[in-house]
Structures are given as C-alpha cells and as structure tokens.
Amino acid sequence: MTEKDQSQHADSALNEAALKYHAEPRPGKISVTVTKPTDTQRDLALAYSPGVAEPVRQIDQDPEAAYQYTAKGNLVGVITDGTAVLGLGNVGALAGKPVMEGKGLLFKKFADIDVFDIEVNAEHPQEFIETVMRIAPTFGGINLEDIAAPHCFEIEASLVEQLDIPVFHDDQHGTAIIIAAGLLNALELQGKKLDEAKVVVLGAGAAGIASVRLLMAMGAHRDNIYVIDRNGVIHIARKDLNPYKWGVAADTDKRTLGEAMQDADAFIGVSGPDLVSPEMIAAMAPNPIVFALSNPVPEIRPEVARQVRDDIVMATGRSDYPNQVNNVLGFPFIFRGALDVRATKINEDMQIATVHALKDLTHQPVPQSVLDAYGLDSLEFGPDYIIPKPFDPRLKEVISAAVARAAVESGVARTPYPSHYPKN
C-alpha cells in the first residue's frame, strides 16, 4: 500500500469513527442539564409558577439581577452563519451546527462555561447583526464563529459597539492571540525582536488580518509585514483593496510571495495546502520562523522545510507535530475571565494580556499531568515547545486571571477582580 493509499485509508477510518461518535449513543455533543432540585411539588413551585415571578420582578427593577437569578452570567452564545466552516467554506448555517456544538463542548470541558449554539440563516451582514442583537439579552457573552471575511469584520465591529457584553470572533482574535504568543517565544529563541522582524503573512482573511493588527499593536512595523492574498502582496499602490486590507497594506516594491519570502524572518500561513516551496524557505533569513497553519495540510510540511533549513522553528495547526497553534488555548479562558468580572467587551488590552500570559507560561516547568497526557518524558521551552499544550491545567487560572485583571485595569469590568483569583 502506497503512502497516499495509507493516508486515504486512515482518513476513511477517521471519518467513519467521527460519524459514529456524533450519532451514538445520543445524537450531538452537548445537552442542557437541570441545576436545581426538581423532586417535590415545592421544588416545581419554586422553579416555575408561582415562585419564578419573584426573580422576574427583581430583574424588571434591576437588569443586573439577571446575573444573580439566571444562568446568563455563565452562558455564551456560539453563533454562526455557516459561511466559513473550518476548511469546508460556505456550507450554510445548519451544516455548521456540529462545529458549533464542538465549540460548546470545548467551552464546557476547559472552562466550565455553558453554551447555546445558534445557527443563523442570513444572506447579508445586517440581517445577522439584527438577529444577534435581538437574542443578546440571553447571554453573558457571544462567540462569533466561522463567518467569512470581510463580513466578519463588519459584523463583529457593529455588535461590539452596540452590545454591553463581550463579543469575540474567535477565528480572528483567538487565532491571532495564539500566533502572537508563539511568535514572541520563537523570536526569543531565534535571537530576534518583533519591532525589527520581517514577517510574511499568507492569507488575508479573518485570521490573517487580525494577526497583523495584533502584531502591529504589540510593536511590529507595518512596512515590515507583507500580507499576501490571491493577487499577491497587499501594497499601498493596489486599487482593489477593501478597508480591512488597506489597513495592512505595506509600502513596498515586493509583489509576489517568493519576493516577500526573500530574507524574511518569519512566515505565518493561514491559507491553504502546499503553497510554500522549499526554495522559499531556503531564501528566508538565518534562523527563520515558519508557522504553517493550514489544516489538515500545512502550507509546507515540517519535514520538507527541515530538509532545506536546520535552523528553523516551526509550528502547525496539527496535533501530530510539535507547537500546535490551537485556539482552545485561548477562547475558553478568555471568556472565563471576562464573564467573571462581567466585562462589557474583550478589548485589545485583554487580548495582549492573554498573549503574554501564554508566552510566559511556556517558560514554566511543565506539570507531570501534561507529560502523561502526551506520552512525554520531558518538555521544556525550546524549538519544539513555544506554546503551552491544550491539556495544561494551569491555563484556566493563568489566562482567566490575566484577562480579568486587564478588564479591571482598562475599565471595562463591572465587578471587582475576583478574590479567588491569584493576587499577582
């Protein structure tokens, strides 16, 4: 059996297992559970009529009482229009539901946050915005998911402006945060600095644009970042740029991916499979950094890149290579911290705080439970460990605390920093 045949056989087996996992013994991955006693007539009288009338009156007098008497404060809406589902594209709202349920599973597993997944049939951004606005009172926060660019930028900006709860498009900011944390550590290992590094970003969708914005907010130079879309380098002389691409346009004579890769310090791929050649990797500056994050097939496979460079630090989006850039390192704990201080938004300060918390955690000794989960004897900061592992139990406390503290310090928290969080 050839390597290609083996890969196809493995994919087929995984697909069958995934269908069985989702269908049995009960369809779907999440459910609603009851949190109060329901064993007696009095229990039911308290849960519904007539007892439920009193919390209704309290909330009517003070909307903030909803956080005390309902599940709102620990409930996140995971909401999509199905226009950019994983690597499958515009499959529609209903077909995106398994992914939204999966997101709910991750919220609950890693941060004990409850989720309602909402799939919205909306052809235009304004229809989606209006739908979310009308259902927003249900939630303590909203995680937007799998919405295609450029509509995702308009949708998120409008909802952030109009709502008083956190609205977070994870495909933008979650990805950007994990990339930034890993990149800072990789730059440190390679003896480079963010404000001097030449960075190539292949892909100008939600993740690519958000990553560039975050890196610039943290000190990267706009004209040292070359963003590539289907038409080549995004530069200031182009006439086909929407406002979001114009915001990342560089003043440069470079026009192609190959030209941009010449002497580049870092490459970030959020695009498609096998788009980067070994020759492009060979042309990069000494001690290069390559984040090939296309899934399941990277822009270039690590084993191919290492054939031409032995001084490289690499990350991918896959769990079977070191340094997996995985959004689960961020979004559950970002929302945990935001919800715990009733933040009105997840702002740039909170995002940057998450970046530094992830970066710093990688420098700490790794718990034995993490080694056991990944079948490792040892793990320490270095070329094969530049971002924490998803099953690291410290993530919930460290990231949530950093987010909550940043929310309080930046003035978007409605309650004090929680007493059960770390003091420093």
Task: Choose the CATH number for 19-35+71-165 among 3.40.30.10, 3.40.50.10380, 3.30.390.50, 3.40.1670.10.
Answer: 3.40.50.10380
Residue 196 near residue 224 (C-beta atoms within 8 A)? yes
**Residue extents of the structural domains in the chain:** 19-35+71-165, 172-340+347-424
* Closest CA relative to residue 115, chosen from 143, 81, 77: 77
Tokens of 102: 């999966």
3-state helix, strand, coil in the chain (%, to 5): 45, 10, 40
Compute mean pLDDT per 10 residues along the chain, 424 residues long, and list them. Answer: 65 89 94 94 96 97 97 98 91 96 96 98 96 98 96 97 97 97 98 98 96 97 96 95 95 96 98 96 98 94 96 95 95 98 98 98 96 94 96 96 98 95 84
Neighbour-count burial of 4, counting CB atoms closer than 10 A to its CB (0-12 exposed, 13-18 middle, 19+ buried): exposed
DSSP secondary structure code for residue 173 in this structure: I
pTM for the full model? 0.94
Give whole-number Cα distances, 370 to 317, 367, 375, 394, in Å.
19, 6, 8, 10
Give whole-number Cα distances, 343 to 130, 135, 242, 274, in Å.
22, 18, 31, 41
Residues recognised as catalytic: 48, 103
The predicted structure's pLDDT at residue 7: 63
Tokens of 120: 């919205």
What number of H helices and E strands is found in the chain? 17, 10
| Dist. CA 71–CA 132, nearest whole Å | 18
Question: b/e map of 174-211 (b: 16 or more CB within 10 Å)?
Answer: bbbbbbbbbbbbbbbebebebeebbbbbbbbbbbbbbb
Residue 84 near residue 171 (C-beta atoms within 8 A)? yes
Residue 321 near residue 314 (C-beta atoms within 8 A)? yes
| Dist. CA 40–CA 272, nearest whole Å | 57
Using DSSP, state whether 261 is helix, strand or coil.
helix
* Closest CA relative to residue 115, chosen from 145, 95, 92: 145
| Dist. CA 234–CA 223, nearest whole Å | 11
Two domains, one topology: 19-35+71-165 and 172-340+347-424: yes
* Closest CA relative to residue 109, chosen from 399, 403, 396, 402: 396
What residues have CB less than 8 Å from 420, skipping those under 6 apart?
A: none
What residues have CB less than 8 Å from 123, skipping those under 6 apart?
A: none
Using DSSP, state whether 144 is helix, strand or coil.
strand
Give whole-number Cα distances, 13 to 7, 10, 18, 22, in Å.
10, 5, 9, 14
| Dist. CA 163–CA 157, nearest whole Å | 10
* Closest CA relative to residue 165, chosen from 146, 143, 193, 194: 143
Q: In the block, which residue shows the tokens 């009529």?
A: 49
Give whole-number Cα distances, 280 to 102, 275, 283, 289, in Å.
36, 10, 5, 12
* Closest CA relative to residue 73, chosen from 59, 52, 57: 59
Q: What angle do CA 56, 59, 63 make, to 5 degrees?
A: 155
Using DSSP, state whether 116 is helix, strand or coil.
strand
Asked if omega into 150 is within 30° of 0 (cis), the reply is yes
| Dist. CA 238–CA 369, nearest whole Å | 51
Measured on CA atoms in the order 250, 252, 258, 264, is the torsion positive or negative?
Answer: negative
Tokens of 328: 């689960």
Thinking of the domain 172-340+347-424, which architecture would CATH place it in?
Answer: 3-Layer(aba) Sandwich (3.40)
DSSP secondary structure code for residue 327 in this structure: G
| Dist. CA 333–CA 331, nearest whole Å | 5
